Amino acid sequence: MSQARIKGILTPNLVPLDRNGNIAEDELRRYVEWLVQKGVSGLYPNGSTGEFTRFSPEERREIIRIVASQVNGRVPVLAGAAEATVRDTLAACAAYAEMGCTAAAICAPYYFKLSQDSVGEYFAELARHTELDIVLYNIPQFANEISLDTIERLADFPRIVGIKDSSRDFPRFLNLINRMRPRRPDFSILIGTEEIILPALLMGGDGGTIATSGIVPEVVMKLYALAESGQIDEARRIQFKLLELINVMLFGAGFPEGFRAAASLRGFVMGQSRQPLSPKEKCDLNAVRQTLHCILSEHGFVAEIEGAVGCEPLGQDGSPSEAEIRAIVAEVVRQMRTNR
């Protein structure tokens, strides 16, 4: 069992790719180091934001190896281990334990619909045989749900040390806290949705796996610190700014393409995603650039965003402001230079 409850903001890190579509190890190390230096509480490789389904099992282990070795014990590493079978998941957990990871995040089996008894037995079998702590990962949008009753039953296994809930269901999250705190005070309860990270913290959640912390770690960690210290008004303002940012990145392109575009604006060479996108799905880099620039500058952080300009609103008739026109021109010039 873990020595301490997993807490804080764990970053579901992206994976940079080189020109051939392979893992760019040096850039991934640079990105991970940047996140650690920015103060994130931990790393969460091989999550949805890390596009784990688009990598082979061997590549997933390589990603964990790179992240864990770069972190070198400075912060916890919650390794995504969502393999297709018990045997493969146990093998992944054994490898990640050797690499020094803190725990494995494991969703319920996907594709085939299972009863809650089967979901419970799946995790029970893992808990009986793994040497690595397990954080349950509830994401019913893509995998079988892990019900509250099932979570309570699984709490009898010391190896199961927490849950990351990405259901986007806040009443469920509150019921989870209410039922689990008296039963397992050491059980870590994390939210997987930044849209409700502040309410989750205020109601007793331990933190979250927050995708925007991979883009604006300074801002997300500031929100967390403010919530921890009871400075709710300022934390609330940041929460609403995060809504603006995630809306741009989620709806500007297919997930997580908007996040990859935003990371490139923070200075990282992310490469082209393995998932081809139609022209309509291409992220509006100018909108991402402007929102990113504003959220950093408005909260006291220096924004070194190429081509970013002032945070001026649209004109009253909905036309672009002068600042936005300058940004559009800067983006066109940047693309012309890139394509020369």
Catalytic residues: 137, 164
Q: How many CB atoms lie within 10 A of CB 67?
A: 25
- The first and second tokens of residue 336, run together, are 């012309």
Angle, CA of 154, 50 and 206, to the nearest 5°: 45
- The answer to whether the CB of 46 falls within 8 A of the CB of 79 is yes
- Enumerate the β-bridge partners of residue 252: none
CA dist 236 → 96, 174, 209, 243, 312 (Å):
37, 19, 19, 11, 22
Q: How many CB atoms lie within 10 A of CB 2?
A: 16
- The answer to whether the CB of 207 falls within 8 A of the CB of 224 is yes
CA proximity to 93, closest of 221, 85, 193, 277: 85
Cβ burial, residue 168 (10 Å; 0-12/13-18/19+):
middle
93-113 per-residue burial string, b: 16 or more CB within 10 A, e: under 16 = bbbbbebebbbbbbbbbeeee
- The answer to whether the CB of 15 falls within 8 A of the CB of 261 is no
